[in-house]
Amino acid sequence: MKVNGTHYRSLWWDADKNALQIIDQRWLPHDFRVQQIDTLTEFADAIVEMRVRGAPLIGATAAYAMALAMRLDPSDSAMNKAWEFFNATRPTAINLRWALNRCRDLLRPLPTEMRASAALTLAHEMADEDVEVNRMIGVHGLEIIREIASKKPAGEPVRLLTHCNAGWLATVDWGTATSPMYHAHDADIPIHVWVDETRPRNQGALTSWELGCHGIDHQYITDNAGGHLMQHGQVDMVITGTDRTTRRGDVCNKIGTYLKALAARDNNVPFYVALPSSTIDWTVDDGVAEIPIEERGQEEITHVQGRLADGSIGTVQVTPDGTAGGNPAFDVTPNRLVTGLITERGVCEASPKGLAAMFPDRAEADAA
Ligand code: MRU
């Protein structure tokens, strides 16, 4: 997507430097900083510190990390060590393990001298695939927005609510939840987006920045405002992303998503989740019981980062000295609260039947 008129992906390969470039998202929306990743530790830090973040982008980054690992040492033991090292960086988004497995499955049977170039080619392919998959999510999600728009007086915007950043920054391009928004905007369907701030990391500010760059009308709201807006008929549809979707359609996404789904159900507002199939964990059924929820540092709760009056980026403490913070980073929304799953192949029911019918090939192979 575009930043000041220039098209960017959230990561890209610089062939001259033979290295990966990322947008260091810790400084957005105030500062657009690009970082080159040269070492395995830098790759791991980029994921752990959320310089790159969002399930699909974490997966794509991991593929490039494996490519670097193979360039440094293509042996079986180095490959397995790299798999373990990167798989431990963040526990919830399944795209990480999906990407690492895909790399290892391709590389294992290859002679060691072929592994480095094969791994890099695969990383490029996976990045390109992610772009196309997310574009298709937008194509399918657009039809839902179009349908809602057709029932409204001409010119009245479809009001969408989203949580966290499931935008192009969270993927290689397009985003998941935002892709239908970009497609609707480009199709001249008027939309207005309510953007949850998404404490504690305020990923909503990333979403606001993205939507602003694309000229999409939006408002940044507190995490607690959604229920009130729904009660007053000001939300036509909720659309979020997911970090892990179980085979029965439970969705694990940024903390607070579940409360939005409950409010949506209570107010008859459709609650859709947009996802690439790489986010489905076919080995898991009950998301609440089985998905590991990342617990992040308490300083993310007790402190907040932003732009200071002098223009610099700073951090301030919001709690009294010594107050302990608790920081579960994700929650699970049970399938019964999900109106539909918007995937690259189309929209399906959030149920074992719905997902298996949409992905018969994956359901059998990946659950094995
Ligand atoms: O902790 P983050 O910022 O990596 O969490 C991101 C989310 O929860 C997104 O909603 C999710 O990854 C879907 S992204 C397309």
| CATH number of the CATH domain containing 101 | 1.20.120.420
Query: Do 124 and 141 fall within a single domain?
Result: no
Q: Domain of 267: which CATH number?
A: 3.40.50.10470
Q: Report the alpha-carbon distance of residue 108 to residue 115 in Å, rounded.
A: 8
pLDDT tens sequence across 256-312: 999 999 999 999 999 999 999 999 999 999 999 999 999 999 999 999 999 999 999
List active site positions.
Answer: 243
For the chain, give the percent of residues with pLDDT over 90.
97
* Residues 242 and 199 both lie in one domain: yes
Pairing mode of beta strands 346-348, 340-343: antiparallel
Average of per-residue pLDDT values in the chain: 97
Regarding whether 195 and 108 lie in a shared domain, the answer is no
Ranges 137-151, 227-241, 352-366: which has the least confidence: 352-366
125 alpha carbon – ligand 1 mean position (Å): 22
For residues 116 and 144, membership in a common domain is answered with: no
Burial class from Cβ neighbours inside 10 Å (0-12, 13-18, 19+) for residue 286 reads middle
26 and 158 inside one domain: no
Give me the mean pLDDT over the 94-99 stretch.
98
**Residue 364: per-residue pLDDT:** 72
Terminal Cα distance for the chain, rounded: 37
Structure tokens at 55: 């399930």
Confidence of residue 28 (pLDDT cuts 50, 70, 90): very high
Of 167, 142, 146, 135, residue with least CA distance to 29: 167
Distances (CA, A) of 66 to 36, 88, 164, 277: 16, 14, 28, 21
Could you tell me if 293 and 360 lie in one domain? yes
The residue assigned the tokens 């159900």 is 265
What is the spatial distance between Cα 129 and Cα 99, in angstroms, rounded to a whole number? Answer: 12
Nearest-angstrom CA–CA distance, 27 and 306: 9
pLDDT at 96: 98
Q: Closest Cα to atom 8, ligand 1: which residue?
A: 254
Q: What are the pLDDT digits (tens) for 47-92? A: 999 999 999 999 999 999 999 999 999 999 999 999 999 999 999 9
Q: Does the pTM exceed 0.85?
A: yes
Of the pLDDT bands very low, low, confident and very high (cuts 50, 70, 90), residue 24 is very high
Domain closes at, from 129, 155, 180: 129
Residues 149 and 50 grouped into a single domain:
no
- Residues 118 and 143 occupy one common structural domain: no
> 199: Cβ–Cβ under 8 A, 6 or more apart, which residues?
223, 256, 301
Pocket test for ligand 1, best of 26, 98, 162, 164 (most atoms within 8 A of CB): 164
Q: What does the pLDDT read at residue 363?
A: 80
Cα(244) to ligand 1 centroid in Å equals 10
Is pLDDT above 70 for 367? no
**CA–CA separation, 368 and 358 (whole Å):** 18
User: How many domains, the chain?
Assistant: 2
- pLDDT-derived band at 368 (thresholds 50, 70, 90) equals low
Pocket test for ligand 1, best of 243, 291, 327, 333 (most atoms within 8 A of CB): 243
Task: Please indicate, yes or no, whether residues 290 and 210 belong to a single structural domain of this protein.
Answer: yes
- C-alpha span between 62 and 122 (Å, rounded): 11
Q: Tell whether 95 and 201 lie within a shared domain.
A: no
Q: Is the pLDDT of residue 149 over 90?
A: yes
Q: What is the pLDDT of residues 105-123, one digit of tens each?
A: 999 999 999 999 999 999 9
253 known ligand binder? yes
Q: Is 164 left (phi over 0), alpha (psi -120 to 50) or beta?
A: left
Tokens representing residue 178 in the block: 């935002």
pLDDT of residue 37 exceeding 80, the answer is yes
- CA-based angle 356:291:220, to the nearest 5? 95
Confidence of residue 362 (pLDDT cuts 50, 70, 90): confident
59 and 166 both lie in a single domain: no
Range of the domain at 257: 137-367
DSSP-assigned letter for residue 216 = -
Q: How far apart are CA 15 and CA 314, in angstroms?
A: 34
Residue 320: Cβ-neighbour burial (10 angstroms; 0-12, 13-18, 19+): exposed
- Residue 117 shares a structural domain with residue 170: no
